[in-house]
Chains A and B, each alone.
Chain A
Amino acid sequence: MTPRIADIWVYLSASPLLGLTLTLVAYQAAYWIYQRAGFNPLLNPVLLAIVMLVSALTLTDTAYAVYFDGAKFVHFLLGPATVALAVPLYLQFDRLKKLALPLACALLAGSVTAIVSAVGIAWLLGAADGTLLSVAPKSVTAPIAMGIAEKIGGIPSLTAVMVIMTGVSGAMMAKYVLDMLRITDHGVRGFAVGIAAHGIGTARAFQVSEQAGAFAGLGMGLNGLATAILMPLMLALWRVI
C-alpha cells in the first residue's frame, strides 16, 4: 500500500495539476473563511491562502519551483487582469476627468511617500543594500516592481515577496487608517489604497464597492507608471548628492 501512494505522489508532484489545484482549493477555502467573517480585512484571503500553501509545501518538502510549475497558469492571468482594469476605468471616466488635479497631486505625494519612507525606514534599521533596492518599488504591482528592481540592482524575486507583503498589509490596514483619518469618500479611499497597495489593495477595494475598486485600479496603474519613471530619477539624484 505505502509504495503505491509514494508512486502516485511521484507522478502527481511531476505534473502541473497538483500546484494548480492546490492553489484554487487553498484560495477558495481562504475566501470561504473571509466571507464567513463578514469580509473582515484582517482575514485577508491572499494571506490565508499563502499561509496554507507554504505550510503544505513545507510539510511535504516540495520545492517552490515544483509548485509554481502548476501555479503559473493562475499567475499568467495577472496580465489579462491588468488589461481588464481598462473597463472600470472607462466606466468611471467622467468622474475621474473632473478630479484630474486632486488625483495627480495625490498620486505624486503617495508615490514619493511610499518609496522614500520604505527605503528610509529599512536603511535606519540597518538593512543590506540589496534589501534597500528591493524594498523601494514595493508599492507597485508585481511585474512593474520586479522590472524596476532588476533595473536598479535589487533582487526581483525578493521584491515580488515584498510587493505581496505590502499588498496584503495595505488591504488589511486600509480600513483602519482611513477610518482614523475620517475619510469617507469611496473614490478617495479606493485611490489611496490602489497607490499604496496595488492589486491586492484593489481587489479588497472591489469587495467594498465598484467605485472604490475603479479608483483603486486607477491608483495602481498610475503609481506603476509614476514609480517606473520616478525611481531611476530619484536614484540618480541620490547618487549625485
Chain B
Amino acid sequence: MLGPLTVLLVFQLIGEVTVQLAGLPIPGPVIGLLLLFLALCVRGSLAVPLRDTANGILQHLSLLFVPAGVGVMAHFARISGEWLPILAAVLVSTALAIAVSALVMRALMRGRSDVGDVGKTGA
C-alpha cells in the first residue's frame, strides 16, 4: 500500500514540476498519468501491489469529487439567477456529447476485424 502510493505521488510530483518548468496548460497529474503509463510500457509489466492500489483508489473515485461538489453552496446566487441556461446547457450538452462520441466511434468500428476484441455484453 505504502510503496504504490509513493509511486503515484512521485509521478504526480514529476508531473507538477514538468508543468511548472515548461509552462504547459495541462494539470500536473495528467502529465503524471502519461509518464507512469510510459514507464509501465517501458518496463513491460505491472507489479501486483500497484495494480491493487490503483484499483482501490479508482473504485472510490466518485468520493473524491464530493468536496468540490459541495462548493455549489458558494454559487447559489449565480446559479439561482441563471438556473435555466446553466441547467439546460449542462444537461443537453452532456447528452449530446455522449451520443455524438458513441455514434462516431461505433460508425468507425463497423466492419473492422478488431471489433470482437471489445466485449459485446450489453448493460
Contact = CB atoms under 8 A, between A and B. Distances in A.
Q: How large is the interface on B (under 10, 10 to 19, 20 to 34, 35 or more residues)?
A: 35 or more
B56 to A, nearest CB: 9
Nearest to A194: B101
Contacts of B57: 77, 80-81, 84
Given A101-B108, A192-B101, A147 B27 contact: yes
A128 interface: yes
A78 B64 contact: yes
A229 B30 CA distance: 14
A37 interface: no
A133 interface: no
Interface in A196-213: 196-197, 199-200, 202-204, 206, 208-209, 211-213
Nearest to A89: B37
B104 interface: yes
A135 B82 CA distance: 12
Interface residues of A, number: 122
A125 B81 CA distance: 12
Contact of A174 (B98, B119, B122): B98
B68 A164 contact: yes
Contact of A173 (B30, B98, B108): B98
B97 to A, nearest CB: 4
Given A85-B58, A105-B104, A219-B101, A167 B65 contact: yes
Given A82-B32, A88-B54, A147 B25 contact: yes
B94 A196 contact: yes
A181 B103 contact: yes
A177 B93 contact: no
A109 interface: yes
Contact of B88 (A111, A125, A204): A125
Given A53-B66, A86-B40, A186 B98 contact: no
Interface string B85-123: 111111111111111111111101100101101111111
Interface string A122-136: 111111100100010
Nearest to A187: B118
Given A23-B66, A188-B118, A228-B26, A83 B71 contact: no
Interface in A83-136: 83-91, 93, 95, 98-99, 101-103, 105-107, 109-111, 113-114, 117-119, 121-128, 131, 135
Interface of B: 5, 8-9, 11-12, 15, 25-30, 32-34, 36-37, 40-41, 46, 50-51, 53-55, 57-59, 61-75, 78-79, 82, 84-106, 108-109, 112, 114-115, 117-123
* Closest 8 pairs between A and B when the two form their complex, measured CB to CB: A110-B101, A71-B67, A196-B97, A106-B105, A87-B54, A125-B85, A82-B29, A102-B108
